[in-house]
Amino acid sequence: MKKTSGRLADGREIIYYDLRDDVTRTAVDRRPLPAARARSEIRHDPLLDDWVGVTAHRNTRTYHPPADECPLCPSREGRMSEIPESDYDVAVFENRFPSFSGAPGKEEHEDPRALFRHAPGAGRCEVVSFTSDHHASFADLDEERARLVLDVWTDRTDALARTPGVRQVYCFENRGEEIGVTLPHPHGQIYAYPFTTPRTARMLRSVAEYGAGHGGANLFDDLVAAERAAGERVVLDGQYWIAFVPYAAHWPYEVHLYPKARVPDLLALGEGARAEFPGMYLELLRRFDRIFGEGAPRTPYIAAWHQAPFTPGGGPDGAAREEFALHLELFTIRRAPGKLKFLAGSESGMNVFINDVPPEAAAGRLREVAS
């Protein structure tokens, strides 16, 4: 993998990742862009004890551009995009409309009881364009290209974890207009948060409580072992990875992919797991596209890497970090052909999910549509 870093016209960084070492990246972004000046703020919710990003500048972000104006396609004569080169393997660049950006600052409050706490929305948001082919999808990549993306996720996790103020790195992909995607070009994103996300914090609390009540046993290890022993929800079982529909799946079709040897993040994966991942993951994505039958529109999904948090600056986060298990969650909001699972009153109002598809039935379907 060859890595080449450059700058866009407004000062944002762009990084090319190429399979070949002899590739040269020298194209210049000649767009007349003003200097990037995104400003984000985070505000604390004292009832839920979590942080909310406030980002007024994102209201003007690019929304469903015509195909010939896609900002993720390579640049060509007469039309410059976010990627100045005429072709590329994988390109990563700072988001023009980031949810989090800049250096950390002092937390402040506006009242005597510190109920109205706020701070700069420090961190970084990046766009990862998986391929220069506008009409492709991640599932269309071959294993070599999928491995390149895994290496990119790992490299960016390493770099962002060492960024001042960053607490957690989150690599993810949204696919499909139903999910809310505004750019159809195959891409994902990486968020470098200035705090541990609420979902991860909740997992860590559960892990700590379970260990205290079960002689120090690890909840992730026991859960994966239990799903493997039960078998009925297992979708794929490889040498280094296992994929299953969780017993209490929240979404109609939801698969969790775990390395069998627990590691806290992508950086800690061994070569065996790295080599096996592309085939396993591509098979899962291709099965997702067959869930609802041949000829059905491609299945919208979210693919989310869960990694252990870091202390700001990239150091270990104590015992909690060592107890965490890297895993990928893949799920769709489509519950049946032409029907979506909406997060309505119970889910959005009380965070109580109601799943219309029994996890065992979902796992059975995902086994039926194997390649």
Whether 116 maps to a domain, the answer reads yes
Among candidate residues 221, 300, 318, the one with its CA nearest the CA of residue 262: 221
pLDDT, position 315: 46
User: 229 with 340, same domain?
Assistant: yes
Percent of the chain topping pLDDT 70:
96
Cβ-based neighbours of 317, under 8 Å, separated by 6 or more: 308, 309, 310, 311
Check: CB of residue 270 under 8 Å from CB of residue 160.
no
User: 221 with 103, same domain?
Assistant: no
Residue-wise pLDDT tens digits, 301-354: 999 999 999 876 444 455 678 899 999 999 999 999 999 999 999 999 999 999
Burial class (CB in 10 A: 0-12, 13-18, 19+), 356: exposed
Average pLDDT, the chain: 94
Residue-wise pLDDT tens digits, 149-170: 999 999 999 999 999 989 999 9
Res. 60 pLDDT band, cuts 50 70 90: low
pLDDT, position 199: 96
Any idea what the CATH number is for the domain that residue 279 is in? 3.30.428.10
Whether 245 maps to a domain, the answer reads yes
User: 109 with 213, same domain?
Assistant: no
How many structural domains is the chain composed of?
2
Q: How far apart are CA 195 and CA 52, in angstroms?
A: 11
User: 213 with 359, same domain?
Assistant: yes
pLDDT at 64 over 70: no
Range of the domain at 239: 199-368
- 3-state secondary structure (DSSP) of residue 191: strand
* Residue where a domain stops, chosen among 107, 122, 137: 122
User: 114 with 207, same domain?
Assistant: no
Whether 175 maps to a domain, the answer reads no
pTM: 0.95
Among candidate residues 234, 228, 200, 192, the one with its CA nearest the CA of residue 323: 200
User: 210 with 307, same domain?
Assistant: yes
pLDDT at 61 over 80: no
User: 115 with 240, same domain?
Assistant: no
Whether 161 maps to a domain, the answer reads no
User: 268 with 354, same domain?
Assistant: yes
Q: Which residue has the higher pLDDT, 83 or 39?
A: 83
Which residues are registered as beta bridge partners of 192? 124, 169
Res. 98 pLDDT band, cuts 50 70 90: very high
pLDDT, position 66: 79
Q: Which residues are catalytic?
A: 187
Whether 138 maps to a domain, the answer reads no
Q: Which two tokens stand for residue 101?
A: 């950006």
Q: Which two tokens stand for residue 37?
A: 């000046």
Whether 169 maps to a domain, the answer reads no
User: 230 with 364, same domain?
Assistant: yes
Whether 151 maps to a domain, the answer reads no
pLDDT, position 316: 46
Whether 54 maps to a domain, the answer reads yes
pLDDT, position 86: 96
Look up tokens 């219309």; give the residue: 356
pLDDT at 225 over 90: yes
User: 204 with 339, same domain?
Assistant: yes
User: 209 with 312, same domain?
Assistant: yes
User: 347 with 212, same domain?
Assistant: yes
